[in-house]
Amino acid sequence: MTQTAFLAACRDTIGAAQVLTDAHDTAPYLTDWRRRYTGVACAVLCPATPDEVAALVKLAVEHGIALVPQGGNTGLAGGATPDSSGAQAVVSLRRLNRVRDIDPHNNTITVEAGVVLAEVQKRAEEAGRLFPLSLAAEGSCTIGGNLATNAGGTGVLRYGNARELCLGLEVVTPQGELWDGLRGLRKDNTGYDLRDLFIGAEGTLGIITAAVLKLHPQPAARVTALAALASPHAALCFLSLAQSAAGPLLTGFELMSDFCLRLVGRHFEQMRYPFAEPHAQIVLLELSDSESEVHARALFERLMETALEEGVVQDAVVAESLAQSRAFWNLREHVPLAQAEEGLNIKHDIAVPISRIGHFIEETDAAVAQAAPGARIVTFGHLGDGNLHYNVQAPEGVDAQAFLAQYQSPINHIVYDSVHRHRGSISAEHGLGQLKIDEAMHYKQDVEVQLMRAVKRALDPLNLMNPGKVLR
């Protein structure tokens, strides 16, 4: 009866057409992007304004209905998928899709939570600015989801995660109050930083409805290159050389193993291996220069000359056009797509201190090889900020489903134990969602877990904000 009354009140508040209950209408909202989780919801609610979100939250409190906020539904940890009870309601924020303001002098853009990331990039470019957050799902993920998971992507080395790109938030609290924190200030020391509580909280402390985001000047030129190296240790040496030579001009530094690119070539024939000879590791690096392409290329040539002379880099190829630069990035972006084509695999989104990456890969590779002989390790990621996607593919010719059933749990333990030894994180940019709660509770200190629970109880005492995600 409570659920029926809740849905009737929601229809009165946002209109019957925006309260989806038919199975055909709700289905796209109930399964996560990786198709790992499928839930059941009493309804999918589609508000169009922050005031409507606030009104829905007040109704949820009144009727005791838990809410699951959802943006573009592109998450990789099940954080935006309801449970199987049918008692929760999904709140889709896709209709909150207005760009409210662009301020070129303040270098900010104010957008609602449902604006797609690619649209923010486009609107910034039209204003002669750059919004540097960039990731594979940028054509469908939304700003609210990016902030809720503190998304990373390829530009973290220079510009930081989503957290570093956000100056202010508008949030609906678990009591249905609307907090207007949309201040485009770089300095604001007037108490606790409430903004940072909500960023990365995956909707468990409130619902982000809008944000003020930082913009940057558009670079005058970009130089993109691929460099071949003998090992992850050599890649770290190359990173140090590049940072010394280029400083803040170094905006991308991506690592891919030889096997990554072999997979891409196997499943996407138009994408050829970029070097005549095989190399253990490939680095994709990019410089963004505010002066000129001539300046950027001269700097890059000096860097490569030093790296080759010192034996750090074995070979390199520089993009000679925008099309070739795009082709280099396509190689990187097609690694996870090639993995999907190859079959089911065991995924890890981990972070370790940059200086430990070489040791982490060596030690973990050896442990996985001993535990699962023949397993193929697909290592790629954002070397410049210490974030690796350390994935494990079934041996050639072995049924992937059977491999996962036998080895997923022991391999997860190997990888996460190794991450813990190196003082890293088991989730770098995908969040915890419902996928990694148990592991997070295991590896975090008790005092840290208790602090998180205290924050949750203080802000959401009824536990109606995305329960079952981030912590237990």
3-state secondary structure of 55: helix
Residue 271: phi and psi, rounded to 5, are -100, 95
Tens of pLDDT, residues 211-256: 999 999 999 989 999 999 999 999 999 999 999 999 999 999 999 9
Query: For the domain that residue 261 is a member of, what is the CATH number?
Result: 3.30.70.2190
Residue 428 lies in a domain: no
Domain C-terminal end among 314, 336, 358:
336
Residue 447 lies in a domain: no
- The label of the residue with tokens 């193929």 reads 376
Phi-psi category of residue 285: left, alpha or beta, with phi > 0 → left and psi -120 to 50 → alpha: beta
pLDDT (0 to 100) of residue 418 = 97
**Total count of domains within the chain:** 3
pLDDT (0 to 100) of residue 92 = 98
3-state secondary structure of 112: strand
Residue 237 lies in a domain: yes
Residue 472 lies in a domain: no
Residue 394: DSSP 8-state:
P
Query: For the domain that residue 111 is a member of, what is the CATH number?
Result: 3.30.465.10
Return mean pLDDT, the chain: 95
Same domain, 113 and 170: yes
Same domain, 181 and 228: no
Residue 108's domain spans which residues?
99-217
| CA–CA distance, 405 with 168 (Å, rounded to integer) | 44
Tens of pLDDT, residues 8-48: 999 999 999 999 999 999 999 999 988 889 999 999 999 99
| CA–CA distance, 455 with 167 (Å, rounded to integer) | 22
pLDDT (0 to 100) of residue 322 = 85
| CA–CA distance, 55 with 10 (Å, rounded to integer) | 9
Residue 417 lies in a domain: no
H or E element that contains 108: strand 108-112
| CA–CA distance, 416 with 425 (Å, rounded to integer) | 8
pLDDT in tens, the chain (472 residues): 689 999 999 999 999 999 999 999 999 999 998 888 999 999 999 999 999 999 999 999 999 999 999 999 999 899 999 999 999 999 999 999 999 999 999 999 999 999 999 999 999 999 999 999 998 889 999 999 999 999 998 889 899 999 999 999 999 999 999 999 999 999 999 999 999 999 999 999 999 999 999 999 999 989 999 999 999 999 999 999 999 999 999 999 999 999 999 999 999 988 889 999 999 999 999 999 888 888 888 998 999 999 999 999 999 999 988 889 999 999 999 998 999 899 889 999 999 999 999 999 999 999 999 999 999 999 999 999 999 999 999 999 999 999 999 999 999 999 999 999 999 999 999 899 999 999 999 999 999 999 999 999 999 999 999 999 999 8
> Of 408, 409, 415, which is closest to residue 350 (Cα–Cα)?
415
pLDDT (0 to 100) of residue 321 = 87
Strands 99-103 and 178-181: unpaired
Contact by Cβ (8 Å): 391, 377: yes
What b/e readout covers 360-397, taking b as 16+ CB neighbours within 10 angstroms? bbeebbebbeeebeebbbbbbbbbbbbbbbbbbbbeee
> Of 172, 139, 163, which is closest to residue 69 (Cα–Cα)?
172
Same domain, 55 and 136: no
pLDDT (0 to 100) of residue 136 = 84
Residue 436 lies in a domain: no
DSSP string, 190-259: SS--HHHHHTTSTTSS-EEEEEEEE-EEPPSEEEEEEEEESSHHHHHHHHHHHHHHHGGGEEEEEEEEHH
pLDDT (0 to 100) of residue 289 = 87
Residue 401 lies in a domain: no
Tell me the longest C-alpha to C-alpha distance in the chain: 76
pLDDT (0 to 100) of residue 1 = 63
Same domain, 210 and 232: no
Domain C-terminal end among 268, 303, 336:
336
> Of 157, 154, 180, which is closest to residue 169 (Cα–Cα)?
180
Query: For the domain that residue 54 is a member of, what is the CATH number?
Result: 3.30.43.10
Same domain, 109 and 178: yes
Residue 401: DSSP 8-state:
H
pTM of the predicted structure, to 2 decimals: 0.92
DSSP string, 304-315: HHHHHHTTS-SE
Radius of gyration, CA atoms only, the chain: 23
| CA–CA distance, 85 with 39 (Å, rounded to integer) | 8
Q: Angle between the 357-371 and 400-421 helix axes, to the nearest 10 degrees?
A: 140
